[in-house]
Amino acid sequence: MAPVFDGHNDLLLRLWLEQQQTPVESVFSGLDGGHLDYPRMRQAGFAGGLFAVFVPPARYVAQQRGISLAAAQEAHCPLRICQQQIDLFYRMAAASQGKMAVCHSARDIAQCLQSGTIALVLHLEGADALDGTLTGLETFIRRGVRSIGPFWNLPNAFGEGVNGAFPGSPDTGPGLTEAGKALVRACNQQRIMIDLSHMNERAFWDTAALSNAPLVATHSNAHALCPQPRNLTDAQLCAIAASDGLVGVNFGTAFLRADGQRNGKTALTKIVRHVEYLVAKLGEDRVAFGSDFDGISLPDEMGDVTGLPRLMAALAAAGIDKSLSEKLAWRNWLRVLKMTWGD
Ligand code: ZN
Q: Nearest CA to 301 among 261, 258, 321, 271?
A: 271
255 and 289 Cβ atoms separated by less than 8 Å: no
> 91 C-alpha to center of ligand 1: Å?
23
Determine the straight-line distance between the first and last CA of the chain, rounded to whole angstroms: 26
Q: Which pTM does this prediction carry?
A: 0.98
User: What domain range is 34 assigned to?
Assistant: 4-341
Q: How far apart are CA 42 and CA 38, in angstroms?
A: 6
103 and 119 Cβ atoms separated by less than 8 Å: yes
Mean pLDDT, rounded, of the chain: 97
Q: Looking at residue 215, what DSSP letter applies? A: P
Crossing angle (nearest 10°) for helices 201-210 and 178-190: 50
Q: What is the pLDDT confidence band of residue 163, given thresholds at 50, 70 and 90? A: confident
CATH number, domain with residue 115 = 3.20.20.140
82: CB partners within 8 A, 6+ apart:
53, 55, 124, 129, 140
> 139 C-alpha to center of ligand 1: Å?
23
Q: How far is CA 37 from CA 11, 41, 277, in A?
A: 8, 6, 31
The confidence score (pLDDT) of residue 343 equals 67
HEC profile of 224-237: CCCCCCCCECHHHH
> 199 C-alpha to center of ligand 1: Å?
10
> 125 C-alpha to center of ligand 1: Å?
7
> 265 C-alpha to center of ligand 1: Å?
22
Alpha carbons within 13 A on the beta-carbon side of 279: 18
Q: How far apart are CA 24 and CA 26, in angstroms?
A: 5
**108-142: pLDDT as tens digits:** 999 999 999 999 999 999 999 998 999 999 999 99
> 319 C-alpha to center of ligand 1: Å?
30
237 and 222 Cβ atoms separated by less than 8 Å: yes
Q: What's the full length of the chain, in residues?
A: 343
Residue type, 342: G
For residues 54-58, give the mean pLDDT.
96
**216-273: pLDDT as tens digits:** 999 999 999 999 999 999 999 999 999 999 999 999 999 999 999 999 999 999 999 9
> 196 C-alpha to center of ligand 1: Å?
10
Per the structure, the count of domains in the chain is 1
Q: Give φ, ψ of 41 to 5 degrees.
A: -60, -45
Q: How far apart are CA 338 and CA 321, in angstroms?
A: 24
The confidence score (pLDDT) of residue 236 equals 98
